[in-house]
Amino acid sequence: MPAPFNIGRPTWEPAPGFDIRRHILRMTVPKPVSEQRLMELAAELYSGRLDRSKPLWEMHLVEVEGGRSAVVTKIHHCLVDGVGGVELAMVMLDVSPDPPPTPPPPLMPDAGSIPGGASLFFDGLFDGMREAVDRWEGMQRAAVGAVMRGDLSLLRAIVRALAVAIRYFAIPVRRAGFNHPLSPARRLAGTAFPFEEFRQIRKSCGGGTVNDVALAVLGGALGPYQKEHGEPVDGREMRVLTPVNVRRENDHGKLGNRMSMLLVEVPLGVRDPVERLAIIRKRTEKLKRDRVADGIDAVGDAVLRMPAPLIAAVAALGPPPNTLANLVFSNVPGPMIPLYTVGHRMLAHYVLAPLTWGMGLGCVVISYDKSLFFTLQSDPEAAPDLDRLRELLEQSYFELKAAAAERVALPSTAAGVPAPERRTAAEERGAVA
């Protein structure tokens, strides 16, 4: 609920007359849909705004060919970020096909009615006053603590983060064909690869992280994709905005977002996949070594601590033109064990993220049950041939795998195909996709 006149920040209020049947819905389709049609339905569901008259989440159950079903979950980013979404999934799903009986839910008191305008106004006013005191106290404590301990690492991280950000703002990004104003429509495509092979690639190519390998695979797909659209790639880089989880131990289970951002310049014209991975690894290691994510998080936190009316006034102006990045690539660490619901094993987990700021293409990766699931999403007016990009993504992966195999022998598991022996009796009678 927004505070009147934006005197304070929006607040969470209990929803009067909450009815879960307005949130969990079965899609009425004439017959079980194919996986391709499922992606189309998910894109259609994702393209519309959530109903602001109820809590901002909903789940749709869809019957899929082969006796399977899918759950399409749509939840506002103000409620959860990627890590929070994984924590939510771990609560909703089971780690065993035969879990103990669910205890009856506690009786919830009636929420009553939403507070009136006068109550929200004065609550917002007092909240703002308390925030100002807490902010001043926090700044004093941080400054005194840093001086007493002689620890100026965070200050240095903020300075480095600002230096990096200023360079990106000073040199506008070279726009790609999919960088233009967005329409409401969305298109989806997905594929999966064995997680262990990404770890083997990382190991055989000199270290780094699984995220570095995923970025190298994405870069190997974007180069040919841009070239097929008549754009030069030699000497060109794609600026990729990568969210970074900055949750602390006591942030687990909390609503909202706890993310910072890094900008990684991914080379498009480097044809050797191992060389491309080495370049990306070197750049991400430097960003981490300089604690750029911590610095950007501290700067962002300071901005969000500005008085609520000032933030609302700035937000009303709308975002500035995007001269910073071409697309968002997010890697969410998920559970590496299978999850179940009412005895049915979840076979695949694809994650969507908002498209924004003129970035008509995005990619989200999540690890689940020994696989990495890539979800490509686009505005069809910006990138209508998303299936072609998925093909190039798979081709890029196999090229990197083959190049890495020349150094260390890799397992020959087929990408994107769960091993038959991993299917259970629960899966045979129908599993959640």
Per-residue pLDDT of 40-98, as tens digits, reads: 999 999 998 898 888 899 999 999 999 999 999 999 988 888 888 888 889 899 999 99
- How far apart are alpha carbons 391 and 397 in whole angstroms? 10
More confident residue, 191 or 168: 191
DSSP state of 359: B
Q: Write out the DSSP string of 374-394.
A: EEEEE-TTT---HHHHHHHHH
**What is the reported pLDDT for 413?**
47
Predicted confidence (pLDDT) at residue 104 exceeds the cutoff of 80? yes
Phi, psi angle pair for 29, to nearest 5°: -120, 150
**What is the reported pLDDT for 429?**
35
> How many CA atoms within 13 Å lie on the side-chain side of 372?
26
- How far apart are alpha carbons 317 and 323 in whole angstroms? 17
Provide CB contacts within 8 A for 149, sequence distance 6+: none
Question: Which amino acid makes up residue 35?
Answer: E
Give the least confident one: 125-129, 134-138, 338-342.
134-138
Contact 292, 160 (CB under 8 A): yes
**What is the reported pLDDT for 279?**
97
**What is the reported pLDDT for 422?**
36
pLDDT mean across residues, the chain = 84
The percentage of the chain sitting over the pLDDT mark of 90, rounded to a whole number, equals: 50
Which domains occur in the chain, in start order?
4-92 (no CATH), 159-428 (3.30.559.30)
- How far apart are alpha carbons 375 and 371 in whole angstroms? 13
- How far apart are alpha carbons 228 and 392 in whole angstroms? 11
3-state secondary structure of 24: strand
pTM score: 0.84
Phi-psi region of 66 (alpha: psi -120 to 50; beta: other; left: phi over 0): left
Distance of CA 360 to the CA centre of its chain: 15
Distance of CA 50 to the CA centre of its chain: 18
Encode pLDDT of 182-232 as tens digits. 999 999 999 999 999 999 999 999 889 999 999 999 999 999 999 999 999
Provide CB contacts within 8 A for 392, sequence distance 6+: 220, 221, 222, 224, 225
Give the tokens for residue 424: 């259970």
3-state secondary structure of 246: coil
In the block, tokens 């100026």 appear at: 152
More confident residue, 17 or 259: 17
